């Protein structure tokens, strides 16, 4: 699968460095040409000998590394590579790259690289969540670096949360996907909705929900990479829109309704990952509502059910809904498929750790109108996105 591809693996000093032996071994089995560069700190966690044996190439650690072969200097390697994967990417390495610092072989190689660079951050949860680190990551994302989100769970340092390096098979899958991208959505238009709508109460307050837009943005990114024209109708989020998608920002459910309906006729598929408010305050006050002695009663009125309307007007389009549930997951999801005339629904139990709102991963079950179910393990939202697109392109209606 990877014959003829040159992959540079950069390993930094983190406990997850041990997983990279398996990554290198898997890449070799797929016939990639693999070169490993380690930071000196990485050699404290796994030996260069292990990695040179598995990669069948000398491992570079030293800034003034010479292999004896004048054609394989690190700068040349950085230019010959089809991709550079840095995993685990420590906070220190991410910070250095973001600041343009080149004070060791790996950071120098990255700075000199013409090849795309993927970063798989892995570290303590508090380091990961540190705003300085997050800012650095966003900066690199803006510059076109690919980010492989870490898994969440129990970390080697004893803390729990995001920061775990994804398992070797996931890293290899990400590389394969990157190097041999599917282009099966070329010529198709996919509309994705994302985020939680905001329903104004007065000029300073609104009703909303916990959606961050991560799931919808991941779907938009995956569909765009697979060649689709993507229209991303997005409720307010703090996320950067994926490169190459047409973004339509909206705030309320009613605005989302109008935006979606306007584009619906030209769409081949609509994937509704947004968490749309079912109700809005009947009256949005013109001035800030003042505190009074008595309780305040707010009357809510129904918002349009966008997906229901799409289901009524469905023609050639594929309609995919999401169901965010806290109980009776598949039963409630099944009811929504019928009511909204969907091709399938992606059900997530939002009470599970690593699933639902705000997380970088999701745990979903894809439910079909005939009751068939495809449960998926916990995986990154980008991976879930690709699996949803795989299910969509396998539908007989899609192939017609």
Binding site for ligand PMT (CB under 6 A): 211-215, 253, 272-276, 278, 303, 305-307, 321-324, 336, 348, 350, 356-358
Question: Which residue's CB is nearer to ligand PMT, number 279 or number 398?
Answer: 279
Question: Which residue's CB is nearer to ligand PMT, number 189 or number 212?
Answer: 212
Is 157 designated active site?
Answer: yes
Cα Rg for the chain, rounded, in angstroms? 23
CB of 37 to ligand PMT, least distance (A): 34
Neighbours of 372 (CB within 10 A): 9
Going by C-alpha positions, the residue among 255, 128, 194, 169 that lies closest to residue 381 is 194
Q: Which of 75, 99, 156, 157 is catalytic?
A: 157
- What residues contact residue 315 under an 8 Å CB cut-off, 6+ apart? none
The label of the residue with tokens 């991410």 reads 94
- The helix or strand, by DSSP H or E, that contains position 175, with its residue range, turns out to be helix 168-179
Question: Which residue's CB is nearer to ligand PMT, number 10 or number 166?
Answer: 166
Question: How far lies 209's CA from each of 7, 167, 198, 212, 275, in Å?
Answer: 42, 32, 8, 9, 7
Question: Which residue's CB is nearer to ligand PMT, number 19 or number 340?
Answer: 340
Question: Which residue's CB is nearer to ligand PMT, number 76 or number 335?
Answer: 335
CB of 138 to ligand PMT, least distance (A): 17
Going by C-alpha positions, the residue among 176, 118, 187 that lies closest to residue 149 is 118
Q: What is the DSSP letter of 366?
A: E
Going by C-alpha positions, the residue among 230, 196, 233 that lies closest to residue 212 is 196
CB of 333 to ligand PMT, least distance (A): 8
Strands (E), 47-159: 83-89, 117-121, 146-147, 151-154
CB of 270 to ligand PMT, least distance (A): 9
Question: Which residue's CB is nearer to ligand PMT, number 110 or number 275?
Answer: 275
Alpha helices in 90-188 (DSSP H): 91-99, 105-112, 125-129, 131-142, 168-179
Handedness of CA 233, 345, 280, 237 (dihedral sign): negative
CB of 221 to ligand PMT, least distance (A): 12
Question: How far lies 159's CA from each of 128, 168, 378, in Å?
Answer: 12, 22, 19
Residues known to be catalytic: 157
């Amino acid at each position: 699968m990877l014959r003829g591809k040159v992959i540079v693996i950069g390993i930094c000093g983190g406990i997850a460095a041990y997983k990279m032996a398996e990554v290198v071994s898997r890449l070799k089995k797929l016939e990639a040409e693999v070169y490993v560069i380690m930071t000196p700190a990485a050699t404290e966690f796994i030996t260069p000998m292990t990695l040179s044996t598995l990669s069948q190439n000398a491992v570079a650690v030293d800034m003034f590394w010479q292999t004896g072969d004048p054609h394989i200097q690190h700068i040349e390697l950085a230019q010959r590579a089809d991709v550079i994967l840095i995993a685990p990417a420590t906070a220190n390495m991410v910070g250095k790259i973001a600041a343009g610092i080149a004070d060791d072989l790996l950071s120098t190689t990255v700075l000199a690289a013409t090849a795309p660079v993927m970063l798989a951050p892995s570290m303590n949860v508090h380091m990961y969540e540190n705003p300085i680190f997050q800012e650095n990551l966003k900066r690199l994302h803006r510059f076109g670096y690919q980010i492989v989100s870490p898994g969440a769970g129990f970390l080697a340092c004893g803390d729990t949360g995001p920061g775990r390096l994804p398992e070797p098979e996931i890293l290899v899958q990400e590389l394969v996907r990157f190097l041999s991208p599917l282009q099966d959505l070329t010529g198709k238009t996919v509309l994705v909705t994302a985020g939680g709508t905001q329903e104004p109460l007065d000029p300073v307050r609104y009703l909303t929900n916990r959606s961050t837009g991560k799931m919808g943005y991941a779907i938009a990114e995956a569909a765009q990479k697979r060649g689709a024209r993507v229209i991303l109708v997005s409720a307010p989020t703090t996320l950067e829109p994926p490169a190459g998608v047409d973004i339509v920002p909206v705030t309320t459910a009613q605005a989302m309704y109008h935006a979606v309906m306007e584009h619906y006729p030209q769409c081949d598929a609509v994937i509704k990952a947004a968490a749309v408010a079912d109700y809005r305050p009947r009256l949005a006050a013109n001035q800030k509502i003042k505190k009074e002695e008595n309780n305040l009663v707010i009357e809510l009125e129904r918002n349009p059910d966008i997906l229901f309307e799409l289901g009524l007007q469905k023609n050639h389009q594929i309609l995919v809904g999401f169901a965010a549930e806290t109980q009776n997951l598949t039963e409630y999801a099944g009811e929504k498929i019928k009511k909204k005339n969907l091709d399938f629904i992606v059900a997530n139990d939002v009470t599970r750790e690593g699933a639902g709102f705000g997380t970088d991963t999701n745990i979903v079950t894809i439910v079909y109108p005939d009751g068939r179910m495809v449960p998926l393990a916990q995986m990154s939202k980008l991976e879930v996105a690709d699996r949803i697109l795989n299910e969509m392109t396998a539908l007989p209606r899609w192939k017609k």
